[in-house]
């Protein structure tokens, strides 16, 4: 793809990408992979317990992603939702498109689409929690690795982690003058330019610049007779990160990080009446390349942030100070009814449009400030410990707009809500090597949380529950774990832990009163085995788990009342099994397999929710006691195979394929045939050649190669409105390492 293709790439970043004299691929993970012997799996190290450790020695379920597994996602312009199913028990979905991903681990997550929604799965990017759901969508590029830590993780990572943690760690600066760039171009004008390079600055200073820009043309045509937008589903999404490292000696280091993102494009496309009544099939003749809406659809998003990570080595201890700042501004506007006109304002369609609805939600004036002080022991011996304090502050304003689709999109309402959240915690953990074979660990955390929300008065708002509310919570979380070495290559472990998610408040709106949900707590236990096999030509892990969530926060969305409310279920339970297997059967063939079985059930007799207005569910409030949690697939599986054929000149022909599967899911709390998402299997393929000992690579790629098109989410509004996964894409890719 020529660098002059300005239609596909932003000029500022394409200039940087084309001018790089850079080197080092994402395959070189400084903390993740420590060896590259042919046919031997590299040692994997993680920081799940805030220390660098061999993944085999950590007594909890951890999965990692790095290298080519991330390359294939970015090459086709995909966002974080593409990580779904790549590791056991992980599911990701969104009703906002590329913004606002919702994470689920072991079936445990939150379907709430409000901009102040909290999630039980936390995302931590370079040691800074990304609390707001929009912040969680920051792109994954130039990463050392991703860690997925099953929950609870309430001792070392704090509140809002009972479901687990997804942890991103960027490649850090170094004194080596190295870097890489990765360019791709494909169907729908999809382009990705990604690169990074180190800047040795002499003396104690070093810097690393990381850039990514992604573009896609609009590929969906709007066929509505009266419309505000002709073409949809395109985007321009650019992000940058600059890190500066100051390390004058072994006793002190300071790592500074500044980053930002700019996104402009389509919001998620809601399509009216695309589900065949009485089934979960798409209607006959469904065309993914067309839509008929009279409302406007667009999305803008800007995020900026920075952090400072300071470390002092003071003899027998290390002292850390981690300071973070994040801010986000966003606006997402869409045609909620998914069609044009209305039954009382013909022409209308597709199907029945009882009444029009066009809305937008935005965040303004946002700030998040975090501060952590942590001290850890570095002494040799059987005892290791760490402890610290953590402070969190967040405040922002939410704007909710209404528009008249029948009146050319004129604004009809604006509701403004402000929220402030302050929290602090004290935490500690200790580990003790009882014997050469037995290591035990324990952690404890006390958290105090305060939240206040208020909405400006407006005659259109349902103020029956008031316009303001607050909550104060204090909780103690703990964990206890042990690892036992059966052989030098085989460890078994057991862990029991608790987690906590703070109170949630949803503002009053035109369609519903203010609601609140009290804190939820989680108790989980797991046992597992981790092993290196056949002289490290293979590796496996297996874990069995069971959890119980008390007072789980749930969101009842839509229904015949067209309202969204928060509620607490008395209890929800889950259990399952997870397994991974990586192996080199022969030196040039790498096989990676993973899978999970995740069973969930709501146990809350007497708890009912409103049901859909246009589906086959029985009318009236429906009991959700005994139902599965929403967006919780029972089965998740992933397979990756890579085969290489070396050449005498130091090159390699290779083929790489990856497949992800999830079983059916319930979109909402109640059960309805129409709003049950079908099982989904998607696969990718890369065929290519690398040369000069892997410094250069050219490849052809395809994503969703079987072109599976299915409903993967719905809007429970007033018709069978849904949204779909992306169709098949293909393209070419070039990567260079300098």
Question: What is the predicted pLDDT for the residue at 137?
Answer: 95
Q: What is the pLDDT of residues 26-71, one digit of tens each?
A: 333 333 444 467 889 999 999 999 999 999 999 999 999 988 888 8
pLDDT surpassing 60 at residue 717 = yes
Question: What is the predicted pLDDT for the residue at 620?
Answer: 78
The mean pLDDT value for 618-624 works out to: 86
What is the number of other CB atoms lying within 10 angstroms of the CB of residue 601?
17
Residue closest to 612 by CA, chosen among 556, 657, 654, 693: 556
pLDDT surpassing 90 at residue 308 = yes
Q: What angle do CA 601, 540, 542 make, to 5 degrees?
A: 25
Exposed, middle or buried by CB within 10 Å (0-12, 13-18, 19+), for 174? middle
Q: Where are the domains of the chain?
A: 11-737
pLDDT surpassing 50 at residue 12 = no
Question: What is the predicted pLDDT for the residue at 422?
Answer: 97
- Binned at pLDDT 50, 70 and 90, residue 202 comes out as confident
Residue 693, token pair as written in the block: 């000992």
Please check whether residue 534 is in contact with residue 546, taking contact to mean a CB–CB distance below 8 angstroms: no
Question: What is the predicted pLDDT for the residue at 36?
Answer: 61
Burial 347-362 (b: 16+ CB within 10 A, else e): ebbbbebbebbbbbbb
pLDDT surpassing 70 at residue 560 = no
pLDDT surpassing 90 at residue 571 = yes
Using the structure block, give the residue that is written with the tokens 């059916």. 664
Question: What is the predicted pLDDT for the residue at 376?
Answer: 97
Q: What is the CA radius of gyration of the chain?
A: 25
Q: What whole-number distance in Å separates Cα of residue 289 and Cα of residue 726?
A: 10
Q: Which residues pair with 36 in a beta bridge?
A: none
Question: What is the predicted pLDDT for the residue at 6?
Answer: 36
Residue 75 DSSP code: H
Question: Can you give the pTM of this predicted structure?
Answer: 0.93
The mean pLDDT value for 236-242 works out to: 98
Q: What whole-number distance in Å separates Cα of residue 471 and Cα of residue 422?
A: 11
Q: Where are the beta strands (DSSP E) in 337-467?
A: 340-342, 345-349, 358-377, 383-404, 410-433, 438-455
Please check whether residue 136 is in contact with residue 112, taking contact to mean a CB–CB distance below 8 angstroms: no
What does each C-alpha distance from 610 to 338, 559, 602, 624, 707 come to in angstroms? Answer: 21, 5, 16, 10, 35
pLDDT surpassing 80 at residue 7 = no
The mean pLDDT value for 519-541 works out to: 97
DSSP, residue by residue, 22-49: ----TT--TTTB----TTSPPPBEE-TT
Specify the 3-state DSSP secondary structure of 70: helix
Using the structure block, give the residue that is written with the tokens 């005659």. 459
What does each C-alpha distance from 614 to 357, 557, 609 come to in angstroms? Answer: 16, 14, 15
The four Cα atoms 39, 66, 34, 542 give a dihedral, to 10 degrees, of: -70
- Report the mean per-residue pLDDT for the chain: 92
Q: What whole-number distance in Å separates Cα of residue 163 and Cα of residue 103?
A: 9
Q: What is the pLDDT of residues 203-214, one digit of tens each?
A: 899 999 999 999
pLDDT surpassing 50 at residue 569 = yes
Is CATH 2.40.170.20 what the domain over 11-737 is classified as, yes or no? yes
Instruction: Give the ranges where 93-132 is alpha helix by DSSP (H).
Output: none
pLDDT surpassing 50 at residue 215 = yes
**pLDDT over 70 for what percent of the chain?**
95
Q: What whole-number distance in Å separates Cα of residue 53 and Cα of residue 429?
A: 15
CA torsion sign for 290, 294, 295, 298 is: positive
């Amino acid at each position: 793809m020529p660098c002059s293709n300005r239609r596909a790439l932003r000029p500022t970043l394409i200039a940087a990408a084309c001018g790089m004299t850079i080197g080092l691929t994402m395959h070189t993970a400084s903390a993740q992979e420590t060896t590259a012997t042919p046919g031997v799996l590299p040692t994997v190290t993680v920081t799940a317990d805030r220390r660098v450790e061999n993944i085999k020695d950590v007594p909890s379920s951890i999965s990692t992603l790095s290298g080519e597994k991330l390359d294939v996602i970015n090459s086709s312009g995909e966002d974080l939702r593409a990580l779904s199913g790549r590791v056991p028990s992980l599911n990701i979905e969104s009703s906002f498109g590329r913004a606002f991903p919702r994470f689920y681990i072991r079936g445990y997550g939150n379907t709430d689409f409000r901009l102040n929604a909290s999630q039980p799965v936390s995302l931590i990017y370079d040691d800074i929690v990304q609390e707001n759901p929009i912040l969680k969508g920051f792109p994954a590029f130039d990463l050392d690795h991703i860690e997925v830590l099953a929950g609870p993780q309430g001792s070392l990572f704090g509140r809002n982690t009972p479901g687990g943690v997804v942890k991103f760690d960027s490649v850090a600066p170094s004194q080596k003058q190295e870097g890489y760039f990765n360019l791709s171009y494909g169907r729908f004008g999809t382009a990705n330019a990604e690169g990074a390079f180190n800047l040795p600055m002499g003396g104690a200073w070093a810097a690393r610049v990381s850039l990514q820009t992604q573009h896609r043309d609009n590929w969906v045509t709007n066929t509505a007779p009266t419309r505000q937008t002709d073409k949809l589903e395109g985007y321009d999404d650019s992000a940058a990160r600059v890190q500066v490292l100051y390390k004058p000696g072994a006793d002190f280091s300071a790592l500074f990080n500044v980053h930002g993102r700019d996104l402009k494009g389509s919001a998620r496309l809601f399509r009216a009446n695309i589900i065949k009544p009485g089934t979960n099939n798409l209607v006959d003749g469904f065309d993914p390349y067309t839509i008929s809406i009279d409302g406007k659809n667009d999305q803008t998003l800007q995020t900026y942030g920075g952090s400072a990570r300071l470390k002092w080595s003071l003899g027998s201890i290390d002292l850390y100070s981690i300071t973070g700042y994040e801010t986000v501004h966003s606006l997402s506007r869409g045609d909620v009814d998914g069609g044009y006109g209305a039954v009382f304002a013909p022409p209308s369609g597709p199907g029945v449009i009882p009444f029009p609805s066009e809305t937008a939600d935005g965040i303004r004036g946002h700030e998040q400030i975090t501060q952590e002080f942590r001290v850890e022991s570095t002494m040799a011996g059987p005892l290791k410990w760490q402890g610290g304090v953590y402070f969190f502050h967040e405040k922002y304003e939410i704007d909710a707009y209404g528009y008249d689709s029948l009146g050319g999109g004129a604004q009809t309402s604006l509701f403004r809500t402000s929220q402030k959240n302050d929290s602090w915690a004290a935490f500690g953990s200790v580990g003790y090597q009882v014997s050469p074979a037995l290591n035990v660990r324990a952690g404890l955390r006390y958290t105090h949380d305060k939240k206040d929300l208020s909405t400006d008065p407006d005659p259109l708002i349902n103020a029956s529950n008031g316009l303001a509310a607050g909550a104060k919570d204090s909780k103690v979380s703990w964990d206890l774990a042990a690892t036992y070495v059966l052989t030098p290559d085989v460890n078994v472990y057991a862990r029991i832990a608790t987690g906590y998610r703070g109170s949630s408040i949803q503002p009053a709106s035109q369609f519903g009163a203010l609601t609140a949900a009290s804190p939820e707590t989680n108790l989980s236990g797991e046992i597992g085995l981790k092993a290196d096999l056949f002289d490290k030509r293979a590796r496996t892990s297996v874990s069995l788990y069971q959890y119980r969530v008390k007072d789980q926060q749930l969101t009842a969305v839509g229904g015949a009342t067209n309202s969204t409310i928060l509620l607490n279920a008395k209890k929800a339970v889950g259990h399952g099994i997870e397994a991974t297997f990586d192996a080199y059967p022969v030196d040039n063939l790498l096989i990676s397999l993973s899978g999970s079985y995740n069973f969930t059930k709501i146990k809350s007799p007497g708890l009912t929710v409103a049901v859909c207005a246009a589906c086959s569910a029985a009318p009236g409030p429906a009991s959700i006691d005994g139902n599965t949690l929403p967006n919780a697939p029972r089965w998740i599986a992933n397979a990756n195979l890579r085969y290489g054929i070396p050449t005498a000149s130091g090159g390699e022909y290779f083929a790489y394929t990856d497949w992800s599967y999830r079983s059916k899911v319930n979109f909402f709390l109640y059960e309805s045939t129409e709003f049950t998402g079908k099982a989904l299997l998607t696969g990718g393929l890369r065929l290519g050649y690398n040369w000069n000992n892997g410094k250069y690579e050219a490849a052809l790629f395809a994503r969703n190669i079987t072109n599976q098109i299915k409903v993967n989410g719905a809007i429970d509004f007033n018709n069978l409105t849904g949204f779909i996964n992306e169709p098949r894409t293909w393209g070419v890719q070039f990567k260079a390492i300098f």
